[in-house]
Structure 1
């Protein structure tokens, strides 16, 4: 019995000793694993490689591309011809392109009504002249009778008033006759000067209003080249500035010219400014209607031209991303002289030779390290 109790006690102590060793070992092992995992999670990731970017080297400052305009030849002096009366066109003797002389008939209106008005005015004038003669004779008689006391003073005064009234009526009738004659002459459209017909807008049988354009006369042989400016950057061109105008169909055909004028206000329909260049002895090929070109001089200060895709913003200012010597990005505010859909022209803010990012500027950040992988031409 005693041996049995001794064996049981030894087994119990052995069991307790084993549990006492295993449990701490398990806790220690768990802590090691947890600490190892924490060290792995807190380790910093490797740095990202520099992003490749497209760049362009800022060129030396220079003028913007010359502005080339396309226009047409027009007469130096153009006259829009119109009737001064309403009426129906019964004839037109001039055709498009005809050369006409001063005073030559060009078109005519129906004139039956104006002829009747002229006849009535002549009859009224004849009646007024007859009444004036009668009043003058009556006044003469009254003046003869007055000294002898045959008539009263009031009768002489009445005869004097009748004569003056008849005289006024005669003058009014003469003016009415002159108006009727003018109205009849206005039914005929004549050339005010020698020139060429460059436009016709009515046909025989058409009813026109007073002042409505009938045709256009190019007076004389002087010619202008007419262009439309779409921007205001060349509006400061001085008058008399010399220019060279070339024929679009044949660039070898050219003529010298000077700036005649630039319209101070834009056309409300086209939003363009009209530029007229007076040509000096233009060749025959530069006839009215011919298409011509002119290159305007650049009067702006030197600028740096860059692709428009390089433009970004810094607050409310235009800016560019510049790659510095350490290949890091600098967001540089700049001043733009002008811009279009393809290019920007930088007046200040960057230097010639600096590398400018030209693609993906919206996804890049200042201070970011980049790799200029490709340089645009």
Structure 2
């Protein structure tokens, strides 16, 4: 009996040890399995055509706006126009004090009269010297002196003639006239002010084509001319005007980092006035399809942008992609992935190709 009981006890001890060993191995395997499968948040990639519909605040500006300035220096005595006034080409818009200019004109007239008299006398002396020389009654030197005096008198006469023209022009320049039909948008001088030659005095917006001036961000500047542009006035939201990019600045503003652009208004009407505020709508659809992914899905360690792709067995693969454009909270990428591939969208910097992952799905990208 004792031997039988001893055998049973020994068998129970062996079974207990074996079961304990199995339980330990199973727990370690479960821990290893749990540690090897890292949970990741994924979403299927969905290709779609790029939609670049954007809106920008615009201001109605004239295509040509120029500063009118006096061509001579002087003291402003009168300004004939105010801001908002319409002018026609040749209309007086400001005037300078003419007192000194009239004195210069009188001086040039007097010099012209004297030069004309001197020329008449020199020409007569030259003619008489030539007649005397032909008859042999005078020396050749006397004829040469008469001819030299005649040339000098003619030169002085031409110089006096030009001086009269310059003085007449200066007197005419004392009245500043509009260079084209348009609207006065700014007055830069007041009566009593002394101005230099060429200093801007009045700014005129030329009549004619109107434009919408906007500031485009760097990410959209290159595509601004490819889309269809329309314009709506804040004061008249029901009307839609077609627009076309005419001018794009080649350099960004150093402060705002935006590019100044001008859009021509193709079908303007009387409702559009200078200085109005408007909204410019630009819509474009590129032929190249792209995938929109969260910014957190982009993996870049100096070798270019990439995405982590997960297959059906939980294996990871790092695939390079082309970054098309960055937006506020997403990135548009192309290539590298196919439509429907599962993309890791969170925690990409903690992954490596040897990691086995457990997929947690979210909505499509």
The answer to whether the 8 A contact 2:322-2:333 is kept is yes
The 8 Å contact of residues 135 and 166 in structure 1, kept in 2 or not, is answered as yes
**Aligned ranges for residues 273-352 of structure 1 at < 5 Å?**
273-292=259-278, 293-299=280-286, 301-313=288-300, 315-352=302-339
Number of the residue aligned with 1:369: 357
Equivalent runs, 1:129-168 vs 2, <5 Å: 129-168=116-155
CA 95–148 in structure 1, closer or farther in 2 if over 3 Å, else same: same
* Structure 2 counterpart of 1:15: none
Note the alpha carbon deviations across 1:113-156, whole angstroms, 9 max, x for none: 33332222222111111111221222233334334433222222
Which protein is bigger by CA-based radius of gyration? Answer: 1
Q: Tell me: CA distance 1:216–1:301, structure 2 relative to 1, closer, same or farther (3 Å).
A: farther
Q: How far apart in 2 are the matches of 1:287 and 1:166? A: 61
Contact 1:61 1:352 (C-alpha < 8 Å) held by counterparts: no
After superposition, where does 1:205-244 map in structure 2 within 5 Å?
205-231=192-218, 234-235=221-222, 243-244=229-230
> Secondary structure, in 3 states, of the residue corresponding to 2:300?
strand
Q: Which deviates further from its counterpart, 219-228 or 292-301?
A: 292-301
Structure 1 residues 306 and 177: alpha-carbon distance in aligned structure 2, compared to 1, 3 A threshold: same
TM (norm. structure 1) is 0.79
Residue 187 of structure 2, aligned match among 187, 195, 200: 200
Which residue of 70, 73, 76 maps to 1:89? 76
1:296 and 1:40 mapped to 2: Cα distance? Answer: 65
**Counterpart residue number, 1:110:** 97
Which consecutive unaligned segments of at least 5 residues does structure 1 have? 1-35
Change (3 A) 1:376 1:201: farther
Q: Distance in 1 between matches of 2:153 and 2:318?
A: 95
Q: 1:326 to 1:238 in 2, by over 3 A?
A: same
Q: Provide closer, same or farther for how the CA distance between residues 263 and 159 of structure 1 changes in structure 2, counting only shifts above 3 A.
A: same
What does residue 70 of structure 1 align with? 57
Most deviating of 346-355 and 254-263: 254-263
Distance 1:264 1:315, change over 3 A: closer
The residue number in structure 2 matching 1:252 is: 238
Q: Distance in 2 between matches of 1:250 and 1:268?
A: 34
- Cα-to-partner distance string for 1:330-376 (whole Å, 9 max, x where unaligned): 32221111223422111111122223222222233443313416447
Q: Would you say the 8 A contact 1:83–1:186 is kept in 2?
A: yes
CA distance in 1, matches of 2:287, 2:257: 23
Alignment CA distance shift 1:374-1:298 (3 Å): closer
Residue aligned with 2:141, SS: helix
Equivalence for 2:248: 262
User: CA 1:376 to 1:99, structure 2 compared with 1: closer, same or farther past 3 Å?
Assistant: same
CA distance in structure 1 between the partners assigned to 2:289 and 2:361 by the alignment? 29
Give the conservation status (yes or no) of the 8 Å contact 1:80–1:213.
Answer: yes
Seen in structure 2, the aligned counterparts of structure 1 residues 89 and 297 have a Cα distance that, compared at 3 Å, is farther
Q: Is the 8 A contact 2:293 2:330 kept in 1?
A: yes
Q: 1:197 & 1:135 partners in 2: Cα distance?
A: 55
Residue correspondences, number: 340
Change (3 A) 1:187 1:330: same
Report the counterpart of residue 5 of structure 1 in structure 2.
none
Residue by residue over 1:54-74, the C-alpha shift from the partner in whole angstroms, topping out at 9 and shown as x without a partner, is 333322221143233332211
- Aligned residues of 1:52 and 1:373 also touching (Cα < 8 A): no
Q: Provide the C-alpha distance between the structure 2 equivalents of 1:237 and 1:230, rounded to a whole number of angstroms.
A: 10
Q: Is the 8 A contact 2:49 2:287 kept in 1?
A: no
Displacement of 1:266 in angstroms is 4.3
SS at match of 1:288: coil
